[in-house]
Each structure stands twice: as structure tokens, then as C-alpha cells.
Amino acid sequence: MIKKRRIGNTDLEVSELSMGTAPIGGWPVAVNSDQAQKTLNTAWEKGIRYFDTAPLYGSGMAERRLGQLLKEKNREEFVVATKIGRLVIESATGSNKFKGQDPNKDTVFDFSYDGTMRSLEESLKRLQLDRVDVLHLHDPDNHPDHLDEAKKGAIKAMKKLKEEKVVKAIGCGLNQNEMLVDLAKEGCFDCFLLAGRYTLLDQTSLDELIPLCKDSNISLLLGGVFNSGILIDPRPDTYFDYTQLDEHWVENAKKNLVRIPKDFESAEYWLNKAYKLKDACKKHSISLKKTAIQFPFANEVVASVILGMSSSTEVEENFNNYQEKIPLEFWKKIKQDNLIDQRSPIA
């Protein structure tokens, strides 16, 4: 059984293990419709009741596929989140990022008030639902003007939607701590979807964001707990924060804008840290992947871990890695050995 946790001050409860739908939207490889539905059905059978999606994922394809599952379910049994900040448009070139999607569809940024209202309306049609539970501001850090545009438009629209009980919770999805710290001070957010900043490898959100979330009763929904693959099988050809861990990692990471590397950071630094964690896991006959999935749950601010899944096999594996609890002695040992931040709570 998958336990549930409450989001902020709302009455929403989400399953601790949840499903991210970017993979069934064609990232990073194409997934056919039958496989997508089998994956979704397996997730439901295992007890996953929180589903995270967005117009970006396959230019609406992930939302449509998720809608095929949810339209047959009791509306009170699941929680669904989608995002605003991008609108699906007709396009002659399509999207190169998402594979197998409609070649005549793409997305464009739009953080305006009207764009937010339109985005939600279109998402509801694709999902075949009359409401979503959580509405996230999506990646307002891709351009210097986007956050200001969102504060003047999108966030006002989101607050109105919550006041009118169209949505139950509002949040923001980002790969960084700093902008979420700024947004936490707006005083209106119930949750943040934080990717890659409270993981077995990177606990930088403990510096400022997590204490602020705790004080403000803002829940964290965590994505990117494998840090792009390094916490599955660390090797020089794997990725960390969407950037391959080769000799060009620093310069490429700066270009990707997901992480601005500090002076001490390098591919070698992150690989050595991951190798030490993998060795510690091996000594205790525990997989690195299982450890990465279970690590965040000891922190009371964390409501759910969102894992992207594209096959029934992945769902089964992730469920087992969630279900088979790691002994407390292991967590004490890696903390004693300074493999995780000393401020990290352990279960």
C-alpha cells in the first residue's frame, strides 16, 4: 500500500509515490498509445493516486493519454496536477524534444492572465475532466522577463482560480531553489514541484528553501530524484542535471541554465560523490536507485516523490523500491560518514 500525505493547508492528500507523465508524452523516447495505457493502468493497480502532467509533455499528448485513464475512475479517488506557462499551438515544425507526438503541434511560453485561463481550459478538455486539483506555474526561469510576467498575470489568475475553488492548490515547478525562495514569499503557494535539489546527492534546498517551506506550510513534491541518471548508475557517460558528466560538464551546465555550477563543482566532484554513495549501498546490499527513492520521505516537508514512468516494468520496479523499506541503521551510517548533509532527517 502507498501511504498518503497532505499538501500544505489544503484538504488534498497525495500518494507518496506518484507518476510523472513526461515519458508517456515522448520524453526522451517515443512511447506508443498501448504502452502508455498499460503503464497508467499498472500505476493505478499499484495504488498510485497522484498524477503530474503538463501541456508541454508531447504538446498535449500526455494530458490526453492520462485523460483516457482518469475518465473511467471515481473522481474522488485521485489527485491530478497540470501546469500553466505554455500553450499548445499549431506548428509546421513541431517539437524536437518530445518523440512520437503530433508533428504539427508545439508549445509557446505564455505567462499572461488570459493565457493562464486559456491553458487550464484546454488542459481540462484534453484530460476530459471538469477540474484539476493542483495547478503549477511551469518553469518561469527560462527568460529574465518570465517571472515578472507571471507575477503580473499568471499568478493573479492562479490565485483567482483557487479563490473560486476551480483548483484546490497552486504551486510552481522548477529545477532551482532560488526562484522558489522568492515565490514562497508571495504567500499564496501551497506546494512546489522541486526537481533535483533535495535528493540523495544534492541537498542544497536545506540551506533556505526547506526551512522557509516548513515555516510557511508549503509542501514539496519532488521530481528528479535520480538527478538525470547519476543516481541510477553513475558513470562518465551518464547525466547530472540534464548534462553529460564529461570534461565539458561545467560549460554545458551553464548553457542549460538548470544549474549554475559553483567553483568547487565539476563532473569529477559529482561522480566521486555518487561513487561513494553507490559503494555504501553495495556494502549493505541495497540498490542505489532504491536509496534515492526512499531518502526524501524522512523530511516532513516532502509530500510526494514524482517518478516518470514509461512501462509497466518501471512501475513495478519503482513500487517495489518504495515498498521495501531500508533499515534505519543504513541511514545512520551514511549520515555518520558525511555522505548526506548532516541536517537531513533520516527515517
| Grid coordinates given for 269 | 566532484
- Ranges of residues in the chain whose predicted pLDDT is under 50: none
Q: Which own/partner pairs from 29-35 qualify as long-range (CB within 8 Å, at least 24 positions apart)?
A: 29/99, 29/310, 30/99, 30/100, 31/100, 31/310, 32/100, 33/65, 35/310, 35/311
List the Cα angle 195/132/129 in 5-degree steps.
130
* Residue 223 DSSP code: E
Candidates 248, 226, 253; CA nearest to 237 is: 248
Residue-range domains of the chain with CATH: 4-231+288-335 (3.20.20.100)
pLDDT at 258: 83
pLDDT at 57: 98
Candidates 205, 196, 340, 176; CA nearest to 273 is: 340
Candidates 300, 135, 160; CA nearest to 218 is: 300
- Of 3, 11, 34, 83, catalytic: 83
End-to-end alpha carbon distance in the chain: 18
Q: Cα separation of 90 and 105, whole Å?
A: 5
Element (H, E) at 61: helix 61-70
- Of 46, 50, 57, 190, catalytic: 57
pLDDT at 166: 95
What pTM does this model have? 0.96
Please confirm, yes or no, whether 52 is among the known catalytic residues. yes
Please confirm, yes or no, whether 57 is among the known catalytic residues. yes
- Of 3, 4, 50, 52, catalytic: 52
pLDDT at 255: 87
Provide the strand spans (E) within 53-203. Answer: 79-84, 86-90, 105-109, 134-138, 169-174, 191-195
